[in-house]
Chain A
Amino acid sequence: MPTPVLELREITKSYDASTVLKGVSLAVEPGQIHALVGENGAGKSTLMNILFGMPVIRDTGGFNGTIVLDGREVRWNSPADAMRAGLGMVHQEFMLIPGFTVAENIKLNREPTRPTPLSRVFGPRLEALDRARMRADARAALDRVGLGVDEWLPMAGMPVGHMQFVEIAREVDKHNLKLLIFDEPTAVLAESEAAQLLEVMRSLAKQGLGILFITHRLDEVLAVADAITVLRDGEVVARLDPKSTSIERIAELMVGRAATVRHPGAGRAAGTHEPALQVSHLAVDMPGEQVRDVSFTLARGEILGLAGLAGHGKVGIANGLMGMYPARGTVTKNGRPFRLNDPSGAIRMGLAFVSEDRRGVGILPDESIELNIALTALQAQGRFLLPGPIPALRLLDRAAMRRHARVEIERLDIRCTGPQQHVRRLSGGNQQKVCLARATTLEPDVLLVSEPTRGIDVGAKHRIVELLRALNREQGLSILVTSSELAELRAIADRIAIVYQGEIATVLPPDASDREFGLAMAGGALEPTRG
Chain B
Amino acid sequence: MADAALEPVGPRPTAGGALRAAVREIGVPRLLIALFLAVLLGIAVATKMDMPSLLTDCLLRIGRNGLLVLALLPAVQGGVGLNFGLPLGIICGLLGCVIALNANLTGWTALGAASGLGVAFAIPAGLGYGWLLNRTRGQEMMVGTYLGFAVVSMMSIFWTMAPFTNPQLVWAIAGHGLRTTLTLAGFWDKVLDNLWAVNVGGVHVPTGTLLVFALGCVIVGLFFRTRAGLMIAAARSNPRFARAAGISDEATRIQATLISTVIAAVGIVVFCQSYGFVQLYTAPLLMAFPAVACLLIGGATVSRATLTHVIVGTLLFQSILTVALPVTSQVIQGDFTETARLIIQNGMILYALTRREDR
Q: Chain A: residues with CB nearer than 8 A to chain B?
A: 16-17, 322-324, 342-347, 353, 355, 357, 360-367, 371, 375-376, 378-380, 382, 385, 388, 391-396, 415-417, 421, 425-430, 456-457, 459-460
Contacts and interface: CB of A to CB of B under 8 A. Distances in A.
25 contacts: A342-B246, A343-B243, A343-B244, A344-B245, A344-B247, A357-B240, A361-B238, A361-B240, A363-B241, A364-B241, A366-B237, A379-B245, A379-B247, A393-B228, A394-B226, A395-B225, A396-B226, A396-B227, A417-B6, A427-B3, A427-B5, A427-B6, A428-B1, A457-B1, A460-B3
Contacts of B227: 378-379, 382, 385, 391-394, 396
Contacts of A396: 225-227, 230
A322 B244 contact: yes
B358 A366 contact: yes
Interface string B1-40: 1111111000000000000000000000000000000000
Contacts of B240: 324, 357, 360-361
Nearest to B303: A366
B7 A344 contact: no
A347 B246 contact: yes
Contacts of B228: 392-393
A190 B247 CA distance: 38
Interface in B224-256: 225-228, 230-231, 234, 237-238, 240-241, 243-247
A94 B246 CA distance: 34
Contact of A459 (B3, B231, B237, B359): B3
A510 to B, nearest CB: 27
B222 A364 contact: no
A324 B244 contact: yes
Contacts of A457: 1-3
Contacts of A342: 246
Contacts of B108: none
A30 to B, nearest CB: 42
A201 to B, nearest CB: 39
B1 A376 contact: no
Contacts of A357: 240
B21 to A, nearest CB: 17
B196 interface: no
A391 B230 CA distance: 13
Contact of A395 (B1, B226, B247): B226
B235 to A, nearest CB: 10
A344 B1 contact: no
Nearest to A425: B6
B1 A347 contact: no
Interface in B187-238: 222-223, 225-228, 230-231, 234, 237-238
Contacts of B4: 415, 427
A136 to B, nearest CB: 42
Given A395-B226, A417-B7, A426-B6, A17 B241 contact: no
Given A457-B3, A459-B3, A380 B234 contact: no
Contacts of A366: 237, 358-359
B6 A421 contact: yes
A202 B359 CA distance: 54
Contact of A353 (B1, B5, B6, B244): B244
Contacts of B241: 361-364
A375 B238 contact: no
A456 B3 CA distance: 8
Q: Which of B7, B222, B241, B358 has the most CB of A within 10 A?
A: B241
A343 B3 contact: no
Contacts of A456: 1
A90 B240 CA distance: 32
Nearest to A360: B240
A349 to B, nearest CB: 11
A378 B241 CA distance: 14
Q: Which of A347, A365, A396, A425 has the most CB of B within 10 A?
A: A396
A142 B359 CA distance: 50
Contacts of B5: 427
Contacts of A16: 1
Contacts of B225: 395-396
Q: Which of A342, A355, A361, A378 has the most CB of B within 10 A?
A: A361
B222 A395 contact: yes
A375 B1 contact: no
A394 B5 CA distance: 37
Given A17-B1, A428-B1, A364 B226 contact: no
Contacts of A347: 245-246
A379 B223 contact: no
B138 to A, nearest CB: 18
Nearest to A371: B230
Contacts of B238: 360-361, 363-365
A519 B131 CA distance: 51
A428 B5 CA distance: 11
Closest 9 CB pairs of A and B: A344-B246, A392-B228, A343-B246, A376-B245, A361-B240, A457-B1, A364-B237, A393-B226, A396-B225
Nearest to B304: A366
Given A380-B245, A396-B225, 9 more contacts: A357-B240, A365-B238, A367-B237, A375-B230, A375-B245, A392-B227, A395-B222, A457-B3, A459-B3
A371 B242 CA distance: 13
Contacts of A417: 6-7
Contacts of B7: 417, 425
A16 B1 CA distance: 7
Q: Which of B4, B222, B358 has the most CB of A within 10 A?
A: B4
Nearest to A398: B225
B45 to A, nearest CB: 42
Q: Which of B227, B230, B240 has the most CB of A within 10 A?
A: B227
Contacts of A416: 6
Contacts of B3: 415, 427, 429-430, 457, 459-460
A385 B208 CA distance: 33
Contacts of A382: 227
Nearest to A367: B237
B181 to A, nearest CB: 39
B231 A379 contact: yes
Given A324-B243, A364-B241, A417-B6, A427 B1 contact: yes
Q: Which of A364, A429, A430 has the most CB of B within 10 A?
A: A364
Nearest to B237: A364
A242 B86 CA distance: 70
A393 B220 CA distance: 12
A211 to B, nearest CB: 37
Q: Which of B3, B4, B6 has the most CB of A within 10 A?
A: B3
Q: Which of B234, B358, B359 has the most CB of A within 10 A?
A: B234
A459 B7 CA distance: 19
Contacts of A395: 222, 225-226
Contacts of A428: 1
Nearest to B5: A427
Contacts of A430: 3
Contacts of A376: 244-246
Contacts of A385: 227
Nearest to A392: B228
B68 to A, nearest CB: 24
Contacts of A322: 244
A37 B191 CA distance: 80
Given A17-B1, A421-B6, A393 B237 contact: no
Given A360-B240, A392-B226, A343 B245 contact: yes
B185 to A, nearest CB: 39
B249 to A, nearest CB: 12
Nearest to B255: A392
